[in-house]
Chain A
């Protein structure tokens, strides 16, 4: 229990520095300011973010697939953060699952558009108009409206002075803080600053993903993709899965796997099953692609006295819903800082359970991805899976549609992996799968 003698309790006038103005930093700032106001406290929050999220092209890009899960869209709406039309590039109401043996269509009830696709930065060069805005810029502006100050400078060193961290940029002292929040991405160099402070923080382990923007014009995107994300489960060892995410006049291609190189996008697009989804060659182009890092292993020590790390600098959800994890951690850090304090003990009590729950949940995620790996690797299992989904989608009276809902929750990031895992243990799921397996074998050919 915090009390007035605790030196780490943040009272009115306390100064908080947030390094990184992406979703974790903005969520932290939005909630910390709201909660502090509820208690009648006046906190001073400065967000250090040199990147201009309004700028299109690589300069403002945050290298991300840009899917906001159904759960996060709904949670933000309850929080009073409604995503404006200028931020949402496409409302998604369905997934098309493609395998070597056919495709399946999984949709939301009543085809309500519950998932948002966004650009984290300004998007590909030339697409930013007056009425379009990036997700990161929108959140940052919400934080600034709430009372945070945005400093467009890069913090390049942190030192301790009288028990408090002091931030420097180009050798000039920027501020001495009562709390520093590390909310930078894995592609940033800021991790080194915290590693050098020597409290045990190590940058997260990563894998390489491939992201490309496919330009084809708004009409073609609407015609070929509608309001669906196309998901590819291929038998290739190197590619875990790939997704094509419609966004206005572009489609973002995200490939997750191991040992991805500069050729992976070209090779992927040349596959017949991928070509079948796209308009004819020559009607689209790939103006940009990159190989960003993805966090797959959380640092063991994410906080100490007056310092806490979150988002990609901490733990995030395995392969999915990084923005959902940013929300969870940003808010958990804010709750701890405002209601408890900025000490190590406070973060251990208030923040660590949330941080740990994401790591714990990812264990279930690993098991589920292993199972999906088996399904995509073996023809008979792939066929059985497709047949089961097809049967479920055809049964209007079956409201559970258990395998469809498992796949939906897995690939939309709509549920915690643990809940998806528990759902997959239900006998009905196995009865449906056996039925699908039997029917696919009986039919022999494609499902």
Chain B
């Protein structure tokens, strides 16, 4: 990015503002991209990826609440800041200035409504209906398959030996016996870091462990609940189809509720086992 243009350049990954901060300024992207992220019990979730010309950070100016999310540069990004005092003073002279902002906010509300309705379906399917761990994992995978187009997919859960084992899968013959330790392979690395990954050319990724199925691209998202990683959702392509940021975002959204459902199912299974043990002891004593 050449020097001398408008705004300030943020380096890739640099935080523009953090969730919870007081908002005094709104921003307009002049060049590059910005990720809007939120901390959730399941980890950091990317809410949106904004592009050149997009505005952000305006909500905190209008509702006077702390920043609702964190904004981080995705690659180098050049951003123009607009001071709250100056903005409101200008709007007071020319209220039509908010037309463009209303247009932007309306588009965002429309998108949020769409995502919310998708999430509600996923949430009710996953959180309310299932109590068996295997059944929950199958349902998670079914939801993921409906949301993102992929040739193969699997849900891997952490077993008693702290390794990832496939609990549910679809696509080309999966190697059901595959176990992945933390840090081993891309899934093992996601288990270690807790960060979702999109790899569109796995052969170039040193972490990738080649199995029998010739994978070209993959998404791997952690199932994280209260900072505890229960497993991962994998989606992969053997064809030349590549994944996009929207796919990663969609699977991350599903993973948020899926992790709660898995945790509930695991808790219920543990409770059932404990109850059975108690009953067994009671029978012996009796």
> Whole-angstrom distance from the CB of B101 to the nearest CB of chain A?
7
Complexed CA–CA distance, A73 and B97 (Å): 13
Cβ contact within 8 Å between B31 and A112 = no
Which residues, 316 to 340 on A, are CB-close (under 8 Å) to B? 328, 331, 335
Give chain A interface residues in 118-168, CB to chain B under 8 Å: none
Q: Does B173 contact A (CB under 8 A)?
A: no
Selected contact of A112 from candidates B8, B86, B100, B101, CB within 8 Å: B8
**With A74-B80, A78-B82 as contacts: A113 and B101 at CB distance below 8 Å:** no
Selecting from A81-89, A98-106, A284-292, A424-432, the interface stretch reads A81-89
Contact between chains at A73 and B6 (CB < 8 Å): yes
Q: Contacts of A78 on B, CB cut-off 8 Å? A: 28, 55, 82, 87, 90, 97, 100-101
Q: Does A79 contact B (CB under 8 A)?
A: yes
Given contacts A38-B99, A82-B53, contact A77 B8 (CB under 8 A): no
A276 at the binding interface (Cβ < 8 Å): no
In the complex, which residues of chain A have a beta carbon less than 8 angstroms from the beta carbon of B94?
A: 328, 331
Which residues of B sit under 8 angstroms from A111, Cβ to Cβ?
A: 8
Find A77's partner among B5, B80, B99 (CB 8 Å cutoff). B80
Q: Are B80 and A73 in contact (CB under 8 A)?
A: yes
Contact B30 A82 (CB under 8 A): yes
Interface residues on chain B, size class: 20 to 34
Q: Are B30 and A110 within 8 A (Cβ)?
A: no
* Interface hits, A148-197 → B, CB 8 Å: none
B52 within 8 Å of A (CB atoms): yes
Give Cα A71 to B99, complex, Å.
18
Q: How many residues of A contact B (CB 8 A)?
A: 28
Can you list, as one digit per residue, whether each of A60-99 has a CB less than 8 Å from chain B (1) or not (0)? 0000000000010111011110110100111100000000
A73 contacts across to B, CB distance below 8 A: 6, 80
Contact B90 A71, beta carbon cutoff 8 Å: yes
Q: B105 → chain A, closest Cβ, in Å?
A: 13
Q: A113 touches which one: B6, B52, B87, B97 (CB < 8 A)?
A: B6
Residues of A contacting B228 in the complex (Cβ-Cβ under 8 angstroms): none
Task: Given A73-B80, A79-B97, A114-B80, verify A91-B7 contact (CB < 8 Å).
Answer: yes
Q: Are B6 and A80 in contact (CB under 8 A)?
A: no
Instruction: Compute how far the CA of A328 lies from the CA of B96 in the bound complex, rounded to whole angstroms.
Output: 12
CB distance from A432 to the nearest CB of B (A): 21
| Chain A residues packing against B (C-beta within 8 Å) | 34-35, 38, 71, 73-75, 77-80, 82-83, 85, 88-91, 110-114, 116, 227, 328, 331, 335
